[in-house]
């Protein structure tokens, strides 16, 4: 791995006093506001473990008293969570207007959560205090002061989230600053400036944080949302203006457009600004932790995600791959291993000779330069009619092997046929009447539709030659592809028992040139696994059944190739 990535001239980054930043994760509180994200208490405990393993300084666990789930979390956390590095924080709001802090329910729940630190939110915008809280500005300030004082008196470290701070400051700076001053005087440890609506740009955040920093004697924090697409940049701008506490969520989870994505913020600050965030030796954990948490919250990771995405260091253009082969930092802004990620080459029509040669070499296929030229030409021709090899490593491997002169000898397909019969709702009497009940039993009733209880029967027949023998097999399925898969396995499964451990795991369809309607070309991708590896194969045809068959056929051949490869004690094959 080359290490000669360019060092940035420190002069272009504002002069910085800070040498370290406290990372405050709010995935379990603000992050869980994301639409479609719902965590059980067990999930929350497991996410917290991951955050601690990553090395964030604070983990905001939820809002005790707001819902039974968060109550249970704070009850179980002290017994079930062994935090190595992080401090657990309970979230709440200031007292309600017109109440006393010591009698307020919200504050009582915060104290009862028995964490070392709490974070309370207060409205730091005069418009919000008047219109949303419907109280006076004086009471808004008193709510902040009283609540912080009370919590400090209970021995708690208090983070003060100044909600709507930036909007409030722009409209009525005196009030917003007065709220901060009250919290500081009451003993808060940190004034966290929140861009609650997410509408700020970095230049605004930078100048406002700088102004606040010059007026206060305690730590300044930043909490950004991504509504202008600038949450990460706004967090960085705040740090450059003097903030030393940064709130955000793993993978940018959060309401609307999400909170600042800590998987970008942390490496940006650590690697670009050269200021400590999480312990330096743990930075390489950020990619696995990002993916692990995505798994826990059941939201597919985004390939394009900076630093941690599967495509973050993937190279496609031929121009680039040949340059990368010469010089690792030509198209990589950091060494991907620093964040636990890696370089990946993607093959497509844009890729030139060097990518294809690399790929063949990796698979142990020896291709001379004529064979490479032939493979490139075929790849371009096929991609022109809709094939897309970069996502179909299995079909690409078969193409490369064929270019090297290989032919598959597992089986020969003579023909295949699909028949699919459907009798809509209400016509089951027809079914029985015309077929007799024994044949009708072959039909299955489905309730998957607005046209409920369709009776349907789909079967496929496959005829193959295998070791000189002609085999005909018929099988049923939930649909044409499922039936073809079953029939092919039935036909050849006796000769290839290894097929039992090979399963289709994903099936994707894309219609190409769709302006032509139902006569358009269809591209089918199938992912298959043998339990250890996953390979993707592809078919393209105007007929979706033909396209599916091609992908299926390639999928099975890759599986057999891989299994026979293992028998021959090599570890190459489809992957």
Q: Does 521 bind a second copy (CB under 8 A)?
A: yes
Dig out the tokens for 15 from the structure.
Answer: 């002069």
Exposure on the CB side of residue 188, measured as CA atoms within 13 A: 31
Residues 265-294, interacting with a second copy (CB under 8 A): 265, 268, 272-273
Q: Which is nearer to a second copy, 162 or 544 (CB)?
A: 544
Tokens of 433: 């009447």
User: Could you say whether residue 485 binds a second copy (CB under 8 A)?
Assistant: yes
Q: Which of 202, 242, 559, 573 binds a second copy (CB under 8 A)?
A: 202
C-alpha–C-alpha distance, residues 256 and 56, integer Å: 24
User: Judged by CB under 8 A, does residue 520 bind a second copy?
Assistant: yes
Q: What is the closest distance, in whole angstroms, from the C-beta atom of residue 497 to a second copy in the complex? A: 20
Report the candidate in 388, 416, 413, 397 with the shortest Cα–Cα distance to residue 525. 388
List the one residue out of 120, 41, 38, 116 whose CA is nearest residue 83. 116
Q: Near a second copy by CB under 8 A, which window of 74-82, 214-222, 234-242, 561-569?
A: 234-242
3-class DSSP assignment, residue 534: strand
Asked if 550 touches a second copy (CB under 8 A), the answer is yes
Instruction: Give the range of 9-17, 19-27, 75-83, 185-193 binding a second copy by CB under 8 A.
Output: 9-17
Distance separating alpha carbons of residues 477 and 489, to the nearest angstrom: 12
Nearest to 161 by CA among 204, 190, 128: 190
3-class DSSP assignment, residue 525: strand
3-state DSSP call for residue 351? coil
Sketch the per residue contact string, 524 through 543, with a second copy: x for CB under 8 A, - otherwise: --x------------xxxxx
Smaller CB separation from a second copy, 56 or 189: 56
Asked if 91 interacts with a second copy (CB under 8 A), we say no
Options 152, 317, 404, 432; binder of a second copy; rule CB under 8 A: 317
Give min distance, CB of 466 to a second copy, in A: 15
Q: Is 187 in the site for a second copy (CB under 8 A)?
A: no
Strands 469-477 and 503-511 turn out to be unpaired
According to CB under 8 A, which one of 85, 474, 482, 564 is a site residue for a second copy? Answer: 482
Q: Quick one: tokens of 547?
A: 């396209």
> Pick from 153, 207, 501, 570: which binds a second copy (CB under 8 A)?
207
CB 292 within 8 A of CB 50: yes
CA distance 70 to 466: 61
Site for a second copy in 391-450 (CB under 8 A): 391, 395, 399, 413-424, 427, 430, 446, 448-450
**Helix (H), strand (E) counts: the chain:** 18, 17
Among 390, 393, 397, 530, binds a second copy (CB under 8 A): 390
Number of chain positions touching a second copy (CB under 8 A) = 164
Q: Does 36 bind a second copy (CB under 8 A)?
A: yes
Among 152, 218, 365, 511, binds a second copy (CB under 8 A): 511
Contact with a second copy (CB under 8 A) among 346, 487, 491, 499: 346
Restricted to residues 58-77, the positions that interact with a second copy (CB under 8 A) are 66-69
| Closest among 61, 49, 75, 53 to 25, alpha carbons compared | 61
The reply on whether position 15 binds a second copy by CB under 8 A is no
Q: Does 337 bind a second copy (CB under 8 A)?
A: no
Residues between 112 and 171 with contacts to a second copy, criterion CB under 8 A: 127-128, 131-132, 167, 170-171
Q: Which positions from 209 through 228 interact with a second copy, judged by CB under 8 A?
A: 226-228
280: phi then psi, degrees, rounded to nearest 5:
-55, -40
Q: Could you say whether residue 488 binds a second copy (CB under 8 A)? A: no
Task: Verify binding: residue 13, a second copy, rule CB under 8 A.
Answer: yes
- Residue of the chain from 136, 304, 501, 570 that contacts a second copy (CB under 8 A): 304
Helix axes 353-362, 369-384, angle to 10 degrees: 110
Binding region for a second copy (CB under 8 A) out of 179-187, 361-369, 385-393, 558-566? 385-393
Task: Return the SS3 of 147.
Answer: helix
Q: How many CA atoms lie within 13 A of 202 on its CB side?
A: 13
List, in order, residues 6 or more apart from 32 with CB less than 8 Å away.
38, 39, 62, 253
């Amino acid at each position: 791995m080359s290490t000669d990535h360019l060092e940035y001239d420190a002069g272009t980054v504002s002069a910085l006093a800070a040498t370290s930043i406290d990372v405050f994760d709010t995935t379990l509180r603000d992050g869980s506001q994301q639409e479609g994200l719902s965590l059980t208490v067990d999930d929350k405990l497991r996410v917290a473990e991951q955050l601690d393993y990553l090395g964030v300084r604070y983990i905001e666990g939820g809002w005790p008293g707001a819902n039974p789930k968060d109550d249970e979390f704070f009850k179980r956390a002290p017994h079930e969570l062994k935090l190595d590095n992080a401090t657990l924080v309970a979230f709440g709001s200031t007292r309600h207007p017109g109440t006393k802090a010591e009698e307020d329910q919200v504050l009582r729940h915060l104290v009862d959560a028995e964490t070392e630190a709490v974070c309370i939110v207060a409205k730091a915008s005069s418009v919000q205090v008047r219109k949303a809280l419907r109280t006076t500005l004086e009471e808004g300030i008193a709510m902040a002061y009283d609540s912080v004082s009370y919590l400090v008196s209970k021995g708690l470290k208090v983070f003060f989230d100044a909600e709507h701070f930036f909007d409030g400051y722009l409209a009525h700076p005196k009030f917003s600053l007065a709220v901060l001053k009250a919290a500081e005087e009451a003993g808060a440890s940190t004034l966290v400036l929140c861009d609650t609506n997410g509408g700020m740009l970095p230049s605004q955040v930078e100048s406002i944080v700088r102004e606040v920093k010059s007026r206060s004697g305690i730590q300044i924090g930043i909490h950004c949302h991504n509504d202008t697409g600038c949450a990460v940049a706004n967090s960085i701008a705040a740090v450059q203006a003097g903030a030393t506490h940064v709130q955000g969520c793993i993978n940018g989870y959060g309401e609307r457009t999400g909170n600042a994505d800590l998987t970008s913020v942390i490496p940006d600050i650590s690697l670009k600004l050269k200021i400590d965030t999480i312990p330096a030796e743990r930075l390489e954990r950020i990619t696995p932790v990002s993916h692990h948490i995505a798994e826990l919250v059941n939201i597919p990771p985004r390939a394009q995600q900076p630093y941690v995405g599967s495509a973050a260091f993937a190279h496609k253009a031929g121009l680039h791959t040949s340059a990368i082969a010469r010089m690792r930092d030509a198209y990589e802004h950091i060494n991907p291993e620093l964040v636990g990620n890696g370089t990946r080459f993607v093959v497509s029509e844009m890729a030139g000779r060097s990518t294809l040669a690399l790929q063949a070499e990796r698979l142990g296929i020896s291709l001379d330069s004529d064979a490479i030229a032939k493979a490139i030409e075929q790849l371009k021709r096929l991609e022109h009619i809709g094939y897309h090899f970069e996502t179909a490593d299995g079909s690409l491997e078969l193409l490369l092997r064929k270019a090297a002169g290989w032919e598959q000898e597992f089986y020969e397909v003579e023909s295949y046929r699909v028949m699919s019969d459907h009798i809509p709702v209400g016509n089951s009497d027809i079914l029985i009447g015309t077929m007799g009940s024994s044949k009708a039993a072959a039909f299955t009733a489905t309730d998957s539709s607005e046209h409920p209880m369709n009776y349907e029967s789909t079967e496929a027949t496959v005829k193959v030659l295998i070791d000189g023998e002609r085999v005909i097999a018929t099988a049923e399925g939930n649909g044409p592809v499922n039936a073809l898969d079953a029939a092919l396995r039935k036909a050849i499964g006796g000769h290839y028992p290894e097929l039992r451990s090979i399963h289709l795991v994903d099936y994707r369809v894309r219609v190409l040139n769709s302006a032509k309607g139902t006569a358009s070309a269809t591209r089918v991708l199938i992912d298959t696994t043998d339990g250890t590896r996953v390979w993707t194969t592809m078919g393209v045809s105007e007929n979706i059944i033909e396209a599916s068959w091609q992908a299926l056929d390639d999928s099975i051949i890759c599986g057999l190739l891989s299994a026979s490869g293992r028998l021959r004690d090599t570890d190459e094959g489809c992957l």
